[in-house]
Structure 1
Amino acid sequence: MGAQLCSEAKAEAPRVALRFHAEAKGAQVRLDARGCTAHRRATFHDGIVFSQRPVRPGERVVLRVLRQEGGWCGGLRVGFTRLDPARVSAPSLPPFVCPDLEQQSPTWAAVLPDGCALAGDVVSFWVDPRGRLFARVNAGRRLLLRKGVLTGAPLWAVMDVYGTTKAIELLDTTASRFPTPVPTVLSEEAVPGSEATPGEECVICFYHAANTCLVPCGHAHFCSYCAWRVLTDTAKCPVCRWQIEALAVEQGPPALLTGEDS
């Protein structure tokens, strides 16, 4: 493959924000100037990307799905690899992380279940000290994707912008214990305002201020955009599962939104 494995244990990597590795990427991948956004230009494959530094066991890799594309089957793949992307020859990368890269190197990845990585969703994934690969989508339950990840050497995050997943953005978890993405307009629905202060973040996106109350249960842990997505997707409160009848936006002029307002 033209790649070398990292066989020596390295000192713990500094706590710097995760970015996509600038050189080790699939043939169809284009990155933004900051290395935070990966976009697959064409086809449904050749979308492999890596983190620019190793990820410690238990450390969350957090990303947002920015865009989807119809006409394909399957979507985002996530996992970890012992391949040091600094030593990977980009033209040697295979078209798929599963099963191609897994067969060629110590790599462990999995596809997220259908419907779990839609545009606007925040996906976090990590490997625990026992070698189990977990993921969580928004405020949902923890998903066990696979077992058997070898954790005795440095691991880099690997993602495959595959199939219906067209673009993803790595979110910065270093400024606080919450990710702090650059806000991106994901649909024509109303998008919430400014970045929240620590302790006031929406529990779904972890970025915008929690300014919206669900009616009638009264839970108010969500920004207006995420609350609107929950209302239109499931109409059930993520905290108590009570049926949502309306949204009360606390910030700005009083507003009461229902599913019929769309």
Structure 2
Amino acid sequence: MGSAFSHEAEYLKKKRSYEPLYFHPKAKGNQILLNDCFSRAERISTFHDGIVFTNRPIQPYEIITLRILEMEDKWNGGLRVGFSCLDPSNINPCSLPPFICPDLIAQSPTWAAVLPDQFIKVGDIIHFWVNNSGKVFLRTNEVKKFPLLGRVAVSSPLWAVLDVYGTTKAIELLTPMSKPCWPRLVTPKFKDEPQDFCFCFPDGDEEECSVCFYHAKNTWLFPCGHTILCYCCANRIFRDTAKCPMCRCKIELFYLQNKFTPADPSNFSSTSTIAVESRQC
């Protein structure tokens, strides 16, 4: 009884934590290479031994957001995603099987499914989560909400688990903001405003950001003109790939819809300098 209580208390402690989400640095397949931030997972060779876990438990309705970075056409099958009761901190990496499906599912309380091929293309952003009833859902560029699997044991701590399998060679974990963030101001137009001024707010009655699904859409991308992001996510994507998540067009400038910033060389230069500095982990 005491052990069970201690385990539950530790879970609740982790659940209240605001620790960022990234891939567990040690609990991974022997073909997986992680970057220094533990946000990018690449399978070095073969088509298997690509299992990765998140660093901490996932709460119900917490969205795990991924971007497909690289594909390999010479293999069959693709990315598998799901949840597991296995604490990755207690896993010996050498004991991990080569596949989530069916190996890890058969050996442990783990639930996972293969993503349909049409949902896996380079540059695609994928979101998945589990609800209080143990049902797992998926959102992508193509679909609003797609039921992926069910009967996940949400009464126990759950870590997200993924298998960088087959045609999927590299993925990146993009952590949605769980609460309003306080971004660094990147254009001369905003340089005189307070540094703790927040441009992003919960969506309320407005349309939600297509990446974090939390803040309201409020940012205009130039030159494609799409307004699918909040300022926080636009800032992060600009520093990362500088490509619009919808059309993959290069982002040269972004600004709030209600705070016009002229697209002149001085603004672009200032934004680009910070973007280069922020690419380092």
Q: Same fold (TM over 0.5)?
A: yes
Correspondence for 1:148 among 148, 151, 155: 151
Rounded to whole Å, the distance in 2 between the matches of 1:18 and 1:251 is 35
* Contact 1:122/1:204, CA 8 A, preserved across alignment: no
Rounded to whole Å, the distance in 2 between the matches of 1:160 and 1:72 is 14
Rounded to whole Å, the distance in 2 between the matches of 1:129 and 1:175 is 18
* Contact 1:25/1:50, CA 8 A, preserved across alignment: yes
Rounded to whole Å, the distance in 2 between the matches of 1:44 and 1:95 is 9
Correspondence for 1:228 among 244, 247, 250: 247
Note the C-alpha offset of 1:139.
6.7
Q: TM-score, normalised by structure 1?
A: 0.70
Q: CA RMSD in A?
A: 3.2
Residue 88 of structure 1 pairs with residue 91 of structure 2:
yes
Query: Could you report, residue by residue, the CA deviation over 1:154-178 in whole angstroms, capped at 9, with x for unpaired residues?
Result: 0011000011111111112247469
Rounded to whole Å, the distance in 2 between the matches of 1:210 and 1:90 is 44
Structure 1 segments unaligned to the other structure (5+ residues) = 1-6, 181-195, 231-249, 254-262
- Paired residues in the alignment total 209
Note the C-alpha offset of 1:204.
3.9
- Pick closer, same or farther for the CA change 1:80–1:251 going to 2, 3 Å: farther
| Structure 1 stretch displaced more, 118-127 or 132-141 | 132-141
Rounded to whole Å, the distance in 1 between the matches of 2:228 and 2:52 is 33
Correspondence for 1:198 among 197, 200, 215: 200
| Structure 1 stretch displaced more, 67-76 or 88-97 | 67-76
* Aligned residue number for residue 7 of structure 2: 8
- Pick closer, same or farther for the CA change 1:143–1:251 going to 2, 3 Å: farther
Q: How does 1:66-85 map to 2 (within 5 A)?
A: 66-85=69-88
Rounded to whole Å, the distance in 1 between the matches of 2:226 and 2:66 is 25
Higher share of residues assigned helix: 2
* Aligned residue number for residue 210 of structure 1: 220
* Contact 1:212/1:221, CA 8 A, preserved across alignment: no
- Pick closer, same or farther for the CA change 1:80–1:227 going to 2, 3 Å: closer
Higher share of residues assigned strand: 1
Q: How does 1:1-262 map to 2 (within 5 A)?
A: 8-9=7-8, 10-13=11-14, 14-138=17-141, 140-174=143-177, 176=179, 198=200, 203-205=209-211, 209-211=219-221, 220-221=227-228, 225-229=244-248, 252=263
Note the C-alpha offset of 1:18.
0.7
Query: Could you report, residue by residue, the CA deviation over 1:170-224 in whole angstroms, capped at 9, with x for unpaired residues?
Result: 112247469x9xxxxxxxxxxxxxxx9536999444599532587xxx9743686
Rounded to whole Å, the distance in 2 between the matches of 1:49 and 1:109 is 12
- Secondary structure of the residue aligned to 1:8 is helix
Q: TM-score, normalised by structure 2?
A: 0.66
Note the C-alpha offset of 1:12.
4.0
